[in-house]
Amino acid sequence: MKEGIDGVMKLKRLSTLLLFLTLFLAGCGKPYLSTLQPAGEVAKTQFNLLLISTSIMVFVIIVVVIIYTTVLIRFRRKKGAEDKIPEQVEGSHKLEIIWTVIPILLILGLSVPTLIETFKLGNVEAMEKVDKEGNREALVVNVRANLYWWEFEYPDLGIITSQDLVVPTDEKVYFHLKASDVKHSFWVPATGGKLDTNTDNVNKFYLVFDEDKANKAGNIFYGKCAELCGPSHAYMDFKVKAVPRDEFDKWISAMQKAEEAKPTTDLAKTGQQLFEENNCLSCHAISPNDTRPETARTAPNLADFGNRTRVAGILENTDENIKAWIQNPEKFKPGNLMYKEANFTDEELDALTEYLQSLKVQ
């Protein structure tokens, strides 16, 4: 009876594990998110390193299993030869050399390409290069991670955005990474490995966003925080909009020329008034040309809010979700620094939402 129950339990556990694995692995094939579908030079290099190391490891496992099985079968005690002792090989020079040299070769096979590529991917000298006029040649984005939102500053272009990072495809984009509160980690899985954003030092690296792969992903890659940073770590998402260079240039000039949005409807005007009366502006900026120092920029820049695909990085950008977020941010992102709960009336929420949706740069 007990064995029967044990059997059922085992089966249950196994099916739960399989179900979990199915759900887990189902996330592996999305072109906007998957490291297994590398979408740029950096991700491809890292993927190839993964292939090399996995192949070497699988090769070792196969060889060991073959030797193990052979030995088990060949040298087991046989009927009629119970006292037979196989040939003793202790101290055999030939064998000692073989099992020393093979692992050395395997380790070289693992380490040489890894080292070469690591140094290549870590080369950020181009970030410092300037032309005759003293302008930086490479595109640099300053990433600042905060509890639970991302700021993207284009220091040479005088633009600041939040939550949606916009980049040109098929060229190296250099990142300058830091955090303003606790340790976070900047990760765009489809285009390269993660890199920590720290409070006490700056990390630098570059990524390339492949144009064809970007097209396949609808020009949006998903970005994540990859360092446990607090109760809403799992919701600390951002989006990367990867567009061809000419489109990127258009976006830049629109952002540079952007003037403060002027609400056109009465409802939006009421919303703007509420936004100002409730001190939202003391943290959020509504212009991409925010000149305040970063210590004053304590909440996401909302300049292009109306064009964002997500509210707070996680909710679909719909009027209903904006209202739900404004009324109770704590419900969606526990521990966020906006406020716990607000008491806006339905009319006030309508007005604020209309105003926020009108914040569009182009």
Asked if 40 contacts 207 with a C-beta cutoff of 8 angstroms, the reply is: yes
Is residue 227 a contact residue for ligand CUA (CB under 6 A)? Answer: yes
Name, in order, each residue with C-beta under 8 angstroms of 144's C-beta and a sequence gap of 6 or more: 150, 151, 153, 178, 179, 180, 197, 294
Given candidates 144, 176, 178, 184, which one binds ligand CUA under the rule CB under 6 A?
A: 184
Is residue 225 a contact residue for ligand CUA (CB under 6 A)? Answer: yes
Name, in order, each residue with C-beta under 8 angstroms of 302's C-beta and a sequence gap of 6 or more: 162, 284, 285, 286, 356, 359
Query: CB under 6 A: which stretch of 36-44, 64-72, 74-82, 220-228 binds ligand CUA?
Result: 220-228
- How many residues are given for the chain? 362
Given candidates 43, 166, 229, 352, which one binds ligand CUA under the rule CB under 6 A?
A: 229
Least Å from the CB of residue 334 to ligand CUA: 13
Asked if 248 contacts 167 with a C-beta cutoff of 8 angstroms, the reply is: yes
Environment class of residue 210 by beta-carbon count within 10 Å: exposed (0-12), middle (13-18) or buried (19+)? buried
Nearer to ligand CUA, 213 or 233 (CB): 233
Nearer to ligand CUA, 225 or 361 (CB): 225
Q: What angle do CA 46, 209, 157 make, to 5 degrees?
A: 125
Given candidates 236, 252, 280, 356, which one binds ligand CUA under the rule CB under 6 A?
A: 236
Least Å from the CB of residue 329 to ligand CUA: 16
Query: CB under 6 A: which stretch of 151-159, 225-233, 262-270, 299-307 binds ligand CUA?
Result: 225-233
Amino acid at 103: P
Is residue 312 a contact residue for ligand CUA (CB under 6 A)? Answer: no
Least Å from the CB of residue 180 to ligand CUA: 11
Given candidates 144, 176, 233, 284, which one binds ligand CUA under the rule CB under 6 A?
A: 233
Question: How far apart, in whole angstroms, are the C-alpha atoms of residue 239 and residue 190?
Answer: 12
Residues that bind ligand CUA (CB under 6 A): 145, 184, 225, 227-229, 233, 236
